[in-house]
Amino acid sequence: MSLDSLKSRIPDYAKDLKLNLGSVIGNSGLPAQQLWGTVLSTAIASRSPIVLRELEPEAKANLSPEAYTAAKAAAAVMAMNNVFYRTRHLLSDHEYGNLRAGLRMNVIGNPGVDKVDFEFWSFAVSAINGCGMCLDSHEQVLRKAGLEREAVQEAFKIAAVIQAVAATLDAEAALSAE
């Protein structure tokens, strides 16, 4: 199971995805921990068993045990936060924004890895889950930490490509099962 194996599964009609997948992962200028944590957390967020099975072993091999756990934690906590904060933001009654969330999310404050890496992964997961509030919040933290826009954009490029590959491969699997 690997990036090459995943690329080989992408159908010819989605050749752009195959090329983009190789590019955003294989040609990334991100530090290895940021890159592979983003790959793992977005593979989880894509909800695709195919994509996760193919990318997880390579991500695990490129991450410390702490980073591996933290990337999974970013996907988990953002799965909750993205629904909560997106809903709060979309409601026309803005008084919900004044209510205490009452949800545990301690891992954000103490992720067990560099805070910037965890924020980067949380940002990428938020891109997949479509939470504008979370995207803005994490982007501001990343920019204040000194990341340039080009680096921040790498997170949502990876998220976009992994999500597209997941949608394509899951659709092909469903169609071939018919």
Residues identified as active-site: 131, 134
Q: How far apart are CA 70 and CA 72, in angstroms?
A: 5
Residue 48's alpha-carbon distances to 28, 66, 85, 166, in angstroms, are 23, 23, 23, 6
Residue 1's alpha-carbon distances to 6, 73, 105, in angstroms, are 8, 22, 32
Q: How far apart are CA 131 and CA 118, in angstroms?
A: 17
Q: How far apart are CA 55 and CA 173, in angstroms?
A: 17
Q: How far apart are CA 80 and CA 126, in angstroms?
A: 10
Q: How far apart are CA 81 and CA 123, in angstroms?
A: 11
